[in-house]
Chains A and B, each alone.
Chain A
Amino acid sequence: MDKTIHCIPGDCLVKSDEWMTGLKGTYSRNGYIYASIAGTVKLVHNNDNTKTIEVVTVSGDGNRHLVPQLGSIVTCRVLSITCNLVRLNIHCIEGQVLKQPFRALLRKEDIKEVDSEKTQICNCFRPSDIILAKVIGFGENNSCLVTTAHNELGVVVALNHSGVWIPMKPISWTQMSCPITYACEPRKVAQLANPCMH
């Protein structure tokens, strides 16, 4: 029977040294590692003599307390487009679904790696597209700035507005076509490693 150790915030867990790293749910102060959330303590001994300690909560939805960090890949939905900007709602961060969306902005010069002056936003994204993007910072007005200037970033799901809302299939890196009407629409398509849909 393994004994589970329950802890509450403020409980002193271990003395911190160079072999011990505190992960999620802990903080260090004055040479000791303390718990910062209520849960069970998990101590892991690694192969190279290092140890990690973290506090695991038992809430069913895992760690929902996510905010967009620099460099994280986010899944967003396009809300509106203008000639210079795309406004987005971030719905997932690194694959974890958020309860409430975060607002984000995508500037015209961050859409493609090359030829950024010649890009036309209406040929890359349309409202209600689901895109993969990467967080690059926080702009003025404190909203998140993202970029799609990589091959694996861009439109993942786009709907064809031809009466029936069907997800389009990508036929090249700049075009998507509807499987029913075969109408093509320009998009900046994401080159996914293993496209699992369709």
Chain B
Amino acid sequence: MAGIELLSDEGLRCDGRRPNEVRKMSCSFGVFDQSDGSAYVELGNTRVLAAVYGPHDIRGARSKARHDRAVINCQYSMATFSTSERKHRQRGDYRSLEITSNLREVFENAILTELFPHSQIDIFVEVLQSDGSNYSACVNAATLAVIHAGIPIKDVVCACSASMVGDHSLVDINYMEESVGSGPNMTIALLPKSKQILSMESSGRMHSTAVSQVMDSAMTGCQEILQVMKASILSHTKELNKQ
């Protein structure tokens, strides 16, 4: 582990946070005019843009249309300048495809797709700066963009990541903890009101006794992120009301 301590003796992480502290999060709505909904989320140093189009007529292959619900089309991509080394990424690389299909599953279950049969909703997410927890920042940004577009959704979907170092679980892991630490990572996306988990992905090896602890701390992190998202949605709605 090359001398990098993920958790110091005083209980501080490598960026000075406590194990149960989520990074500073800020959100803004309506960054694009052309799309129906858009949002920009900063989770610490991770910056993500999301744009939502729809519901509209099915483009391309009409055979994938569903007669009773809308089809959700997601795309996740990372900008070439998003990591510390500039790297040209193909659109179809494995990690992007995995996150794309996870995002699609999350939103297929969260958006009320039965209201829009024979149509398609597009969700595009682009990571501008990547400092760990890309997937959770993308879920949060896509939720805000869907809400900004006015597409009916069951609840404000929020996501958070967690990891384990020794006996302590760390919430909202950054790039250093994700890559260098040999510990396991887990990201949970959930519907906060009903506490239903929409998606859970993890990598690395975790002892079975540690799973529930990491899951609990990820869910607690989700609630904290939810407060920030709720406050920003309410302030945006009130501002629109005044105009």
Contact = CB atoms under 8 A, between A and B. Distances in A.
Interface of A: 4, 6, 8-10, 12, 25, 27, 29, 34, 36-40, 57-59, 63-65, 67-68, 99-103, 138, 141-144
Interface in B162-206: 191-193
Interface stretch (B12-20, B50-58, B77-85, B209-217): B50-58
Given A67-B55, A138-B118, A9 B155 contact: yes
Contacts, number: 96
A102 B230 CA distance: 34
Given A4-B241, A10-B155, A65-B55, 10 more contacts: A9-B155, A10-B154, A10-B192, A10-B193, A27-B154, A29-B154, A34-B154, A100-B57, A141-B63, A142-B62
Interface residues of B, number: 37
A65 B62 contact: no
Contacts of A29: 154
Interface of B: 36, 54-58, 62-63, 65, 67, 70, 112, 116-119, 147, 149-156, 191-193, 230, 233-234, 236-238, 240-241, 243
Contact of B147 (A38, A63, A138, A144): A38
The interface residues of chain B, by DSSP majority, are classed as loop
A6 B241 contact: yes
Nearest to B241: A58
B152 A9 contact: yes
Contacts of A12: 193
Nearest to A40: B241
A63 B55 CA distance: 11
6 contacts: A4-B241, A59-B240, A65-B149, A65-B150, A67-B117, A102-B57
A103 B57 contact: yes
Q: Which 7 A-B pairs have the closest CB atoms?
A: A10-B155, A36-B152, A142-B65, A58-B240, A102-B57, A100-B56, A67-B119
A102 B65 CA distance: 13
A39 B237 contact: yes
Contact of A37 (B55, B57, B70, B150): B150
A58 B70 CA distance: 24
Contacts of B192: 10
Contacts of B150: 37-38, 57, 59, 63-65
A57 B37 CA distance: 13
A176 B12 CA distance: 82
Nearest to B53: A100
B148 to A, nearest CB: 8
Nearest to A7: B237
A74 B154 CA distance: 29
B234 A6 contact: yes
Contact of B58 (A9, A25, A34, A142): A142
Contact of B118 (A39, A101, A144): A144
Contacts of A27: 112, 152, 154
A8 B147 contact: yes
Given A34-B154, A37-B152, A138 B67 contact: yes
Contacts of B230: 8
